[in-house]
C-alpha cells in the first residue's frame, strides 16, 4: 500500500503512458470490442476506456468518476489490440490502471465472493482438485447464494485419464515439455492427456517436466494483482529453468495460459535476475494446435458427420497470435463439417473470473455466439481454453443442451484414424 490518496491522479507505468501516446482516437477498435458491440456506448469501448484512463492519469478526472465502471466491464480480451492500426498495446494500460486502483484500494470492480477464493485455490494443485470435487458434490446441497455461481460453473464430470495408453516415445522430433496448467489439470485432465498423446504421435519428443504446481498468473494479472502475477511467473520460470534446453517447446492446451506465459518477457522485463530466463521461456511457448501442426508427422483424422464450430481462445488470438492453427486443422478434417463462424475468434465472455464478477455481461456476450451457432445448426462446440469450456458448457445447458462442448484435443483424438487400440478406451 502506498501513500496515494483517492484524489491523486491515476499512476501509470512509463510503458502504459507510452501506449496512451500511440492512440490517435481513430476508433477502428470499436467494432472489435465485445462490450461496445453489446452496449453501443463509448465508455465501454477501447477508445473510451483509454480516454478515461488518460484523463485520470492527467488528473482531469477523479478515479472515482466513472473510471471503475469502464474498467470493470472490460473483459480484457485484447481484441482491440488486434484491430488497432497504430499498434496500441491496450492491455499494458489496462493492467497498469487496474493495478493502481488495487494499490490505492479503490474498487474497480465489486468482486463476486467466490472470485478471490478461486484465485487463491488455483495456486495449490491438490487443494484445488479436492475443492473442485467437493464443489461438484456440494451442488446437491443447499449452499449460500454467494457460492452457487462457482459450483454451477464446475464441469459436469472430472475424468481421470487411464494409465493404459502411454504416449509413444519419439527421439527425433522437437523436444516438448507439456505444461498442464492449473485449471486444465484440476478439471480437464483427460483433455491434457489427449493433447500429450497426439503430440507424441505426431513426433514430439516429450521430455520430462518438473512437478507442476501453481498458476501461471493469468487470472491475477486480469484483476490487477500484477505483483502477485509477477511472483507466480518467477516461480514458474525458476521451477523450469534447469530443465529447459534452448530449443524445447513449452506446449499448453489452454490459450489464456499460453498467452500469459509468452508474455513473461514483458512482465519481468525490469527484473534483472529473471529478465533473460523469462524471455527464453516466453519464446518457447506454443499453443497445442500450433505445435501439433508444426510437428513432423501429420496425423490423419476422420469425422463422424458432426457440424463443428470453434470458440477460439481470445488470448490465443490476440495475445499469442497463434489463433490460426485450430481453424486450419479443423478445416482439413473430412467427414465433419467445420463451420467458420463470424464470431469464432471473438471473446465468449469468460475472461478469467470475469464471468463471476460480471455475470450479466458475460452471459450477454456468450448469447450472441450461441445464437450464431444455433443458426448454423452447430452440434459440437470446440474450445481451447478451460474458462471458455466452463462458460460455454453453462450457456449451452441453459439453452437446453442441444450442442456438445468439447476440448479440441479430445475431439481430435476421437477422430484420429491411426490411434492404437488401447486409445479407444481412454475417453471417460
For position 391 contacting ligand SF4 by CB under 6 A, the verdict is no
| Of the candidate residues 68, 78, 225, 348, the single one contacting ligand SF4 (CB under 6 A) | 78
Q: Which stretch binds ligand SF4 (CB under 6 A): 82-90, 97-105, 331-339, 385-393?
A: 82-90
- Return the residues of window 16-35 that contact ligand SF4 according to CB under 6 A: 23-29, 32-35
For position 84 contacting ligand SF4 by CB under 6 A, the verdict is yes
Size of the site for ligand SF4 (CB under 6 A): 27
Q: How far is the CB of 83 from ligand SF4 (least distance, A)?
A: 6
Q: How far is the CB of 222 from ligand SF4 (least distance, A)?
A: 10
Output 87 or 144, the one with its CB closest to ligand SF4: 87
CA distance 223 to 117: 13
For position 333 contacting ligand SF4 by CB under 6 A, the verdict is no
Output 49 or 123, the one with its CB closest to ligand SF4: 49
For position 364 contacting ligand SF4 by CB under 6 A, the verdict is no
| Of the candidate residues 10, 47, 68, 176, the single one contacting ligand SF4 (CB under 6 A) | 47
Q: How far is the CB of 69 from ligand SF4 (least distance, A)?
A: 13
Output 52 or 293, the one with its CB closest to ligand SF4: 52
Output 268 or 348, the one with its CB closest to ligand SF4: 348
For position 326 contacting ligand SF4 by CB under 6 A, the verdict is no
Q: How far is the CB of 82 from ligand SF4 (least distance, A)?
A: 9
Output 49 or 415, the one with its CB closest to ligand SF4: 49
For position 319 contacting ligand SF4 by CB under 6 A, the verdict is no
- Return the residues of window 57-76 that contact ligand SF4 according to CB under 6 A: 74-76
Contacts with ligand SF4, residue ranges (CB under 6 A): 23-29, 32-35, 46-47, 49-50, 74-80, 83-84, 86, 88, 90
Amino acid at each position: 500500500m502506498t501513500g496515494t490518496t483517492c484524489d491523486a491522479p491515476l499512476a501509470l507505468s512509463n510503458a502504459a503512458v507510452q501506449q496512451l501516446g500511440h492512440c490517435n482516437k481513430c476508433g477502428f477498435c470499436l467494432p472489435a470490442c465485445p462490450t461496445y458491440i453489446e452496449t453501443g456506448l463509448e465508455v465501454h469501448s477501447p477508445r473510451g476506456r483509454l480516454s478515461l484512463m488518460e484523463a485520470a492519469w492527467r488528473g482531469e478526472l477523479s478515479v472515482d468518476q466513472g473510471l471503475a465502471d469502464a474498467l470493470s466491464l472490460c473483459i480484457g480480451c485484447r481484441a482491440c489490440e488486434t484491430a488497432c492500426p497504430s499498434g496500441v498495446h491496450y492491455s499494458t494500460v489496462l493492467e497498469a490502471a487496474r493495478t493502481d486502483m488495487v494499490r490505492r484500494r479503490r474498487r474497480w470492480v465489486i468482486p463476486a465472493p467466490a472470485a478471490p477464493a478461486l484465485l487463491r485455490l488455483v495456486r495449490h494443485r491438490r487443494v484445488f482438485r479436492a475443492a473442485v470435487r467437493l464443489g461438484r458434490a456440494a451442488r446437491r446441497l443447499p449452499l449460500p447464494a454467494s457460492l452457487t455461481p462457482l459450483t454451477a460453473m464446475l464441469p459436469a464430470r472430472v475424468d481421470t485419464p487411464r494409465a493404459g495408453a502411454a504416449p509413444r516415445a519419439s527421439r527425433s522430433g522437437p523436444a516438448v515439455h507439456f505444461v498442464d496448467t492449473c485449471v486444465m489439470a484440476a478439471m480437464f485432465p483427460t483433455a491434457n492427456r489427449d493433447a500429450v498423446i497426439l503430440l507424441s504421435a505426431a513426433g514430439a519428443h516429450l521430455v520430462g517436466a518438473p512437478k507442476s504446481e501453481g498458476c501461471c498468473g493469468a487470472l491475477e494479472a486480469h484483476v490487477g494483482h500484477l505483483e502477485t502475477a509477477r511472483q507466480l511467473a518467477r516461480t514458474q520460470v525458476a521451477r523450469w529453468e534447469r530443465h529447459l534446453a534452448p530449443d524445447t517447446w513449452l506446449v499448453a492446451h489452454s490459450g489464456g495460459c499460453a498467452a500469459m506465459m509468452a508474455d513473461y518477457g514483458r512482465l519481468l522485463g525490469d527484473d534483472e535476475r529473471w529478465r533473460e530466463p523469462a524471455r527464453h521461456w516466453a519464446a518457447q511457448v506454443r499453443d497445442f494446435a500450433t505445435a501439433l501442426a508444426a510437428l513432423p508427422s501429420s496425423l490423419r483424422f476422420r469425422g463422424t458427420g458432426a457440424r463443428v464450430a470453434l470458440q477460439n481462445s481470445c488470448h490465443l488470438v490476440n495475445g499469442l497470435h497463434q489463433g490460426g492453427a485450430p481453424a486450419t486443422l479443423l478445416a482439413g478434417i473430412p467427414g465433419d463439417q467445420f463451420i467458420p463462424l463470424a464470431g469464432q475468434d471473438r471473446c465468449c465472455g469468460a475472461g478469467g473470473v470475469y464471468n463471476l464478477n460480471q455475470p450479466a455481461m458475460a452471459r450477454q456476450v456468450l448469447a450472441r455466439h450461441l445464437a450464431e451457432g444455433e443458426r448454423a445448426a452447430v452440434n459440437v462446440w470446440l474450445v481451447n481454453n478451460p474458462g471458455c469450456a466452463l462458460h460455454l458448457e453453462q450457456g449451452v445447458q441453459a439453452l437446453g443442451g442441444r450442442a456438445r462442448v468439447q476440448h479440441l484435443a479430445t475431439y481430435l483424438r476421437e477422430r484420429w484414424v491411426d490411434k492404437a487400440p488401447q486409445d479407444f478406451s481412454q475417453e471417460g
